[in-house]
């Protein structure tokens, strides 16, 4: 490492903020080494696709400078229902090597894209109740999307060593910070500006994932329309500032009705999960992403779904040295969930 940057940085490139987290191993766990959030101009990334790579590279470079990022290696991630397919499938029992060879063939019927256009990966979860069958998590990601992200990160001067999936990073974050509860099903919900990542864990193992393209942009757009505001001002209003004579109190109703739209999607996904699996009901929701910071969003989920909802604390088991502004971190911790999960990954991980 020429630049003395040991280890890799977790870089969550969202459509509204880039989040960076670096951890180091400390006695019995992890310690925070670097933490940064960098806002992105709107419309550089739309629907998980990079629309303006030049400006995204500039933003990344800016962040690297302001955050003092010395590490060269980065772990990044991708999400979104239009470019990532994650499915739990049932296959005849075979070894990992055997599946590596036949995965393309097996995947074909589950992936709605040309199989040559995707990178495939899988994880064998274990034997099924039916003899001779096994459960496998199949992951297919469009190659062009992976390449877009890899190129941007390289252009910004970093070396992308792992391209992860947002919902897997969330599971990683959860596994490090929370006790695995064998008989409870936990729904991890990460709701950013334009994407919902949902992952349901049973005994710590993922049994269901789903991405939808909805998020807190709905709040921003509703505020823009209602009060005739610019994107920037609507964002400030959403975060609780008064703008152009509109107070957060005035904005409350508009925010709540946009939240209803997002809630409908969540409830639909929960219903779908309940209708397609034999697993028991959801016991708890752990909410992360920008939506977790919106007034009573967590309470609204709890009320509508009937499931106890907690806001994620991605730094629950991570030591935060005194040099960091603790209250600043606490304030936005829920949006760091994916970045923490990425920072936990090690080179050589699958
Ligand atoms: N304090 C706050 N109060 C309300 N909303 C906030 C606050 N801070 C951020 N947000 C909103 O959260 C969203 C950003 O969250 P997050 O970083 O999880 O999204 P993202 O990862 O950039 O987006 P995506 O993954 O959907 O592309 C933005 O829409 C932003 O306006
Ligand atoms: Mg995100």
| Phi (first) and psi of residue 21, to 5 degrees | -140, 135
- Residue 5: is it exposed, middle or buried by C-beta count within 10 angstroms (0-12/13-18/19+)? middle
- Which CATH code is given to the segment(s) 84-139? 3.30.1490.300
Top-confidence range, 109-118, 205-214, 299-308: 299-308
Is the pTM higher than 0.85? The answer reads yes
Cα–ligand 1 centroid distance for 93 (angstroms) = 42
Distance between CA atoms of residues 8 and 71, nearest Å: 6
Q: Where are the domains of the chain?
A: 1-82+143-178+316-350, 84-139, 180-312
And the tokens for 154?
Answer: 């390289």
**Residue 6 in this model has a pLDDT that exceeds 90:** no
In the reported structure, the alpha carbon of residue 101 is separated from the centroid of ligand 1 by a whole-number distance in angstroms of 40
Q: Has domain 180-312 been given CATH number 3.90.550.10? A: no
Work out the pLDDT band at 1, boundaries 50, 70, 90.
very low
116 phi and psi angles, rounded to 5 deg: -75, -15
Does residue 146 surpass a pLDDT of 70?
A: yes
In the structure, which protein residues have their CB atom closer than 6 angstroms to any atom of ligand 1?
Answer: 14-17, 192-195, 215-217, 235, 238-239, 289-290, 293-294, 335
Give the HSE-up count for residue 237: Cα atoms under 13 Å, Cβ half-sphere.
30
The number of beta carbons lying within 10 Å of the beta carbon of residue 296 is: 13
Position 104 scores a pLDDT of 93
Q: Which of 2-11, 62-71, 220-229, 266-275 has the lowest mean pLDDT?
A: 2-11
* Ligand closest to CA 342: 2
Chain centre to alpha carbon of residue 101: 30
Token pair in block for residue 105: 């063939």
- H-run or E-run covering 246: none
Which ligand 1 atom minimizes the distance to the CA of 16?
22
**Which atom of ligand 1 is least distant from the CA of 294?**
4
**Continuous segment of H or E residues that includes residue 299:** helix 297-305
**Ligand 2 centroid to 113 CA: how many Å?**
24
Cα separation, 11 vs 59, in Å, equals 13
Report, as an integer, the average pLDDT of 2-15.
Answer: 76
Task: Please give the CATH topology (third level) of the domain spanning 1-82+143-178+316-350.
Answer: Nucleotidyltransferase; domain 5 (3.30.420)
**Residue whose tokens read 């303006």:** 52
Q: Using only C-alpha atoms, what is the Rg of the chain?
A: 20
Same fold, 1-82+143-178+316-350 and 180-312: yes
Side by side, which strands form the sheet with 159-165? 159-165, 73-78, 8-13, 17-26, 29-39, 318-319
Q: Which of 16, 328, 334 maximizes ligand 1 atoms within 8 Å of its Cβ, making it the mutation to test the pocket?
A: 16
Which protein residue's CA is at the shortest distance from atom 11 of ligand 1? 290
> Binning pLDDT at 50, 70 and 90, where does residue 83 land?
confident
Residue 287 backbone class (left: φ over 0; alpha: ψ -120 to 50; beta: rest) = beta
Please calculate the CA angle 265-332-226 and round it to the nearest 5 degrees. Answer: 55
Position with higher pLDDT, 103 vs 6:
103
């Amino acid at each position: 490492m020429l630049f003395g940057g040991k280890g890799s940085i977790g870089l969550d490139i969202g459509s509204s903020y880039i989040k960076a987290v670096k951890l180091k191993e400390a006695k019995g766990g992890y310690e925070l080494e670097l933490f940064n959030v960098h806002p992105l101009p709107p419309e550089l990334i739309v629907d998980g696709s990079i629309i303006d790579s030049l400006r995204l590279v500039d933003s990344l470079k800016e962040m690297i400078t302001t955050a003092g990022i010395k590490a060269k290696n980065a772990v990044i991630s991708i999400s979104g229902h239009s470019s990532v397919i994650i499915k739990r499938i049932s296959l005849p029992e075979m070894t990992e090597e055997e599946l590596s060879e036949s995965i393309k063939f097996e995947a074909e019927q589950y992936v709605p894209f040309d199989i040559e256009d995707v990178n495939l990966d899988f994880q064998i979860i274990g034997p099924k109740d039916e003899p001779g069958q096994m459960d496998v998590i199949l992951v297919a990601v469009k190659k062009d999307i992976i390449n877009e992200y890899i190129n941007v990160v390289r252009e910004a001067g970093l070396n992308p060593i792992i391209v992860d999936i947002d919902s897997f990073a969330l599971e990683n974050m959860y596994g490090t910070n929370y006790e695995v509860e064998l008989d409870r099903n936990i729904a991890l919900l990460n709701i950013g500006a334009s994407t919902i990542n949902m992952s349901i864990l049973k005994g710590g193992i993922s049994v269901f994932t789903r991405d939808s393209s909805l998020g807190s942009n709905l709040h921003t757009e509703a505020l823009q329309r209602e009060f005739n505001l610019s994107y920037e001002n609507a964002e400030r209003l959403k975060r609780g500032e008064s703008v152009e004579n509109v107070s957060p109190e005035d904005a409350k109703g508009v925010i709540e009705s946009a939240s209803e739209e997002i809630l409908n999607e969540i409830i639909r996904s929960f219903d779908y999960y309940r209708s397609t699996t034999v697993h028991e009901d959801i016991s708890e929701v752990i909410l992360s992403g920008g939506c977790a910071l919106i007034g009573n969003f967590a309470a609204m989920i709890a009320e509508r779904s009937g499931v106890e909802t907690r806001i994620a604390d991605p730094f629950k088991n991570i030591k935060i040295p005194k040099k960091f502004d603790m209250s600043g971190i606490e304030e936005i911790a829920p949006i760091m969930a994916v970045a923490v999960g990425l920072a936990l990954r090690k080179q050589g991980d699958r």
